[in-house]
A and B are shown apart, each in its own frame.
Chain A
Amino acid sequence: MPRYETVIGLEVHVELKTRTKIFCDSTTEFGGEPNTHVCPICLGLPGTLPVINKKVVEYAIRAALALNCNIAEFTKFDRKNYFYPDMPKNYQISQHDLPIATHGYLEIDTQKGPKKIGISRLHMEEDSGKLVHQGTITTTPFSLVDYNRAGVPLIEIVSAPDLSSPEEACQYVEKLRTIILYTGVSDCKMEEGSLRCDANISVRPVGTGRLGTNTEIKNLNSLKALRRSLHFETERQIEVLRAGGRIVQETRTWDEGKGETLPLRSKEQAHDYRCLPEPDLVPLLIDRQWVEDIRGSLPELPEQRRQRYIKDYSLPEYDAAILTNTKELADYFERCVRAYSHPKAVGNWILGEFNRLLNLHGIEIAACKVTPQNLVSLLRLIDQGTISGKIAKVVFAEMFTSGQAAEAIVKKKGLVQISDRHAMVPVVEKVLAGNPGAVADYKAGKGRALGFLVGQVMKATQGQANPELVNKLLKERL
């Protein structure tokens, strides 16, 4: 029986966070009472005309440059015609044959090393409104339409069929999301729909050059749905082929509850979009200087940043990857490193306690009360021997909730490390006297017993003893 390999291509829609919509000056704000973020233009009232929002073009170029795309010199809009009540004009203004950007790529990490995933094209288009049903679409007695979202700018990013597994597909989306977040053109929130994903998938016997017949999967609202649906669809297609069947080219929808993909429409039922050049908009000639200006304004991208962390800060690959995963985290890290030149220690703290508490409390970095300056002060207290690393965690937790400076907390709670030999000697002697068994073990060559004794001393001092000093004093007496 032949072994099969999977071929996946993704179409990702990203909402751009411009202040106003793509063709009018209605707000793009999420939410709001139904049909309050609208005007005659985004409602498509008779006689109205679209005018391109320059910021949308700028953001599209920004994202495209970050994805290593070529920016077209000449680009135009087209109408995609089909009837659906969430579309005010019954056509969508999109880009058909001359998109703003093509020929890009991004890199994902696979077990065999980094892999380039091609980006065939990136284009601009308008979003549609939303239908509101009572219950489900099939049983609702009537449906209402909310056009608040109609005309919100989108970019559609189409990958080449370069992804070979559901895991690679998820990695691609995560990487794409990270890069777009770095450029600042979108929030990329899958749960709010500002990043949406459709997948094209086919399988073929390993070693075959030609692509198999593909299906398209829609309604993928999370990475989990993406991964699960692709696994399901891979298995389904292989089963069909192994049973001697043929794959039907069709659009399928992911049913999260059932955990399977279901047929939505066949190729014959597919829309003929009857595309035509949008006569209400003039083609855009993209000024090269403008493109270079936008390129110049791009922040350092995650890939470059990661390499720099490995090279300049000698961070392990893993630490560098996580620290650069979001721009906010990396910026925070760099502000700390600027004030304190032990990147590894900073990295450990950020990836450890800092991230743990952020996740625990569900807090964004921007809302975190611990300033980089405060974190650095805490690290300095450890270096100076004022507090132990263990006490530092207690102090940090307090900093995290109250926003107070480390010094103030240490002082207020009396957490200063005991480094005074004279104060420590009686405590050490008391512990030795109270644990003859452990002393005997140590003398019998069981090194582990020393750790136990150190722990006992720390316990007796509520963790305030300087661990180095404790070690030293114990060894002197054993």
Chain B
Amino acid sequence: MQLFLLTAHEIHELLIKKEISAEELNKAIYARIEAVDDRIQAYITRTAGKALDQARAVDKQISNGEKVTPLAGIPIAIKDNICTDGIKTTAGSKILSNYTPPYSATVVKKLEAAGATIAGKVNLDEFAMGSSNENSAFFATRNPWDTSRVPGGSSGGSAAAVAAGAAVCSLGSDTGGSIRQPASFCGVVGMKPTYGAVSRYGLIAYASSLDQIGPFARDVTDCALMLNAICGHDPLDSTSAKQRAMDYTSFLKDDVRGLKLGVPEEYMVEGIDPDVRDLVIKAMEKLESLGAVVEYTTLPHTDYALPTYYLIAQAEASSNLARYDGVRYGVRTEGTGDVMDMFMKTRSEGFGAEVKRRILLGTYALAAANYDHYYLKALKVRTLIKEDFVQAFKRYDLLLSPVSPTTAFPIGEKMDDPLQMYLSDICTISVNLAGMPGLSIPCGFVGGLPVGLQLIGRPFDEGTLLRTAYTFEQNTDYHKQYPDL
């Protein structure tokens, strides 16, 4: 039995039957990290020592006959833009390469309270800006299905770690597709919950009105277990919603009969790889055969989503990233003149090219002379895009689409063409602008590379997403296939 290929709920059964111990499990995952991470390069910081202590505590609880949660002892990888008390948190940036937070993000506290162990901190595009992990200041994480290809981004490390068996589950963050696209590229389940469903406290901000933390898992059940642990109102995050606590596993029913699913035609045409489109159509047919009603629909303002996203996200980013100036923490360029000189040199040397590009774009969009034409207009268009979804959800319970127009692309292919890189987010960014929940679930392979199907739901209706994804999963076997490493 290869422990590192099991899901959390399978492992939980073994733990409570005392067939394995949490310590063995964590050692097995750590051995797997040792075995494969030279090739995958998912981890920036490994925390095996701390994880083993946490695991032994869980074993003690189990041997004392105490009830433990389904995530007790389960090794989870954390995207390195989520703060961990006493563990280096870099956001994939040189400017924070020496930064250790004095507090943990709310999601980390919640996972630890559930008994989960922290396997380590995983790679990302610098400050979550990118779609390939190539913008990390440290190294590019590889796709476990083909190590010459990208794992997607920005949560590429989180997706690759789970796909490679180097963590059972992981946390990522999604601002324009940063959970769903790497989940699609790496063949795992990844979910961006509704904006406000999960606390952002402790998530190093990229674009505050779009950022959302969410889970990666090997199947839909684990995804639901992760949601159970991390969702809920947080008094430390004013934008977190005051929702009733719920058991997301209660939605795991193999039944989509009567559900009405819409497929936005704008997501199925331009630029979509025909093989990817075929797999999405096959998935539509599968769900139809299982009793759902599937129809084409429209999101008419889709063309404006990309510019709208890039204005809003970058405007917020230019402000959010202003605090990295070398004064209080992080890397400071020494030997500079006055304080403004120190700011400029620290930021010039500390940030990578893509981050600088986005800060400049956002600064430009917010300048007094441009505000009305760019930022304010983008806010208005955002309302229209949201309205598209509101209209669509009057007729459909869920929307279906590809996650990404293509499968994982070769490392280096799009690095010289940022616009081409941005275009690969076309199916995912509107979901962030509208604040809806979105999920990527494996729906097949093209040339040995996984493809994800995107499900988009009504705000706070993660339940219907999980139910549909679970039904699809129970009637397919894509999630049971593993990369050969």
Contact = CB atoms under 8 A, between A and B. Distances in A.
Given A85-B325, A280-B208, A49 B200 contact: yes
A47 B375 contact: no
B205 interface: yes
Interface stretch (A64-72, A173-181, A271-279): A271-279
15 contacts: A40-B102, A45-B102, A46-B91, A46-B324, A48-B103, A48-B202, A83-B343, A85-B327, A89-B322, A90-B322, A145-B328, A272-B367, A276-B315, A276-B366, A281-B238
Contact of A47 (B204, B235, B238, B316): B204
Interface in B331-380: 339-340, 343, 363, 366-368, 371, 375
A43 B330 CA distance: 13
Contact of B238 (A51, A91, A273, A276): A51
B237 A49 contact: yes
Given A83-B325, A272-B367, A274-B366, A49 B99 contact: no
Contact of B202 (A43, A47, A274, A276): A47
A145 B327 CA distance: 9
Contacts of B67: none
The 3 closest A-B pairs by CB, nearest first: A90-B322, A274-B366, A279-B208
Contacts of A151: none
Interface string B21-51: 0000000000000000000000000000000
A43 B102 CA distance: 12
B203 interface: yes
A219 interface: no
Contacts of B91: 46
A89 B323 contact: yes
Contact of B96 (A46, A85, A280): A46
Contacts of A279: 207-209, 239, 316
A46 B103 CA distance: 10
A198 B283 CA distance: 66
B239 A280 contact: yes
Interface residues of B, number: 45
B236 A51 contact: yes
A85 B339 contact: yes
Contacts of B463: none
A51 B239 CA distance: 9
A52 B315 CA distance: 23
B327 A46 contact: no
B252 interface: no
B319 A91 contact: yes
Interface in A32-66: 40, 43-52
Contacts of A143: 339
A52 B237 CA distance: 10
Given A45-B329, A83-B322, A145-B328, 20 more contacts: A40-B101, A40-B103, A44-B323, A46-B83, A46-B99, A46-B205, A47-B105, A49-B239, A50-B238, A51-B236, A52-B238, A79-B319, A83-B325, A85-B327, A145-B327, A274-B318, A275-B371, A276-B316, A276-B319, A280-B205
B208 A88 contact: no
A81 interface: yes
Contacts of A273: 368
Contacts of B327: 85, 145
Contacts of B201: 47-49
Nearest to B325: A90
Interface string A260-301: 000000000000111110011110000000000000000000
B136 interface: no
B89 interface: yes
A47 B322 contact: no
Interface residues of A, number: 30
Interface of B: 81-83, 89, 91, 96, 99, 101-103, 105, 200-205, 207-209, 235-239, 315-316, 318-319, 322-325, 327-329, 339-340, 343, 363, 366-368, 371, 375
B341 to A, nearest CB: 12
Contacts of B366: 81, 274-276
B343 A47 contact: no
A77 to B, nearest CB: 10
A280 B202 CA distance: 12
Contacts of B207: 279
Contact of B101 (A47, A275, A281): A47
A243 to B, nearest CB: 33
Interface in A79-119: 79, 81, 83, 85, 88-91
Nearest to A35: B328
A47 B339 contact: no
Contacts of B203: 47
Q: A46, A47, A49: which has the most chain B beta carbons within 10 Å?
A: A46
Nearest to B339: A85
A49 B238 contact: yes
B367 A88 contact: no
B296 to A, nearest CB: 34
B323 A46 contact: yes
Contacts of B316: 276, 279
A236 to B, nearest CB: 29
Contacts of A51: 235-238
Contacts of A52: 238
Contacts of B239: 49, 279-282
A91 B322 contact: yes
Of B105, B209, B322, B343, most buried by chain A (CB within 10 Å of CB) is B322
Contacts of B236: 49, 51
A147 to B, nearest CB: 8
B343 to A, nearest CB: 6
A273 B318 CA distance: 12
Contacts of A83: 322, 325, 340, 343
A277 to B, nearest CB: 8
A210 B328 CA distance: 47
Nearest to A24: B236
B204 A46 contact: yes
Listed residue (B318, B328, B375) with the most chain A CB atoms within 10 angstroms of its CB: B328
Contact of A274 (B105, B340, B363): B363
Nearest to B342: A85
Contact of A88 (B99, B204, B323): B323
A88 B328 contact: yes
Contacts of B329: 45-46
Nearest to A43: B328
Nearest to A280: B208
A81 B322 contact: yes
A250 B59 CA distance: 69
Contact of A272 (B103, B209, B368): B368
Contacts of A89: 322-323
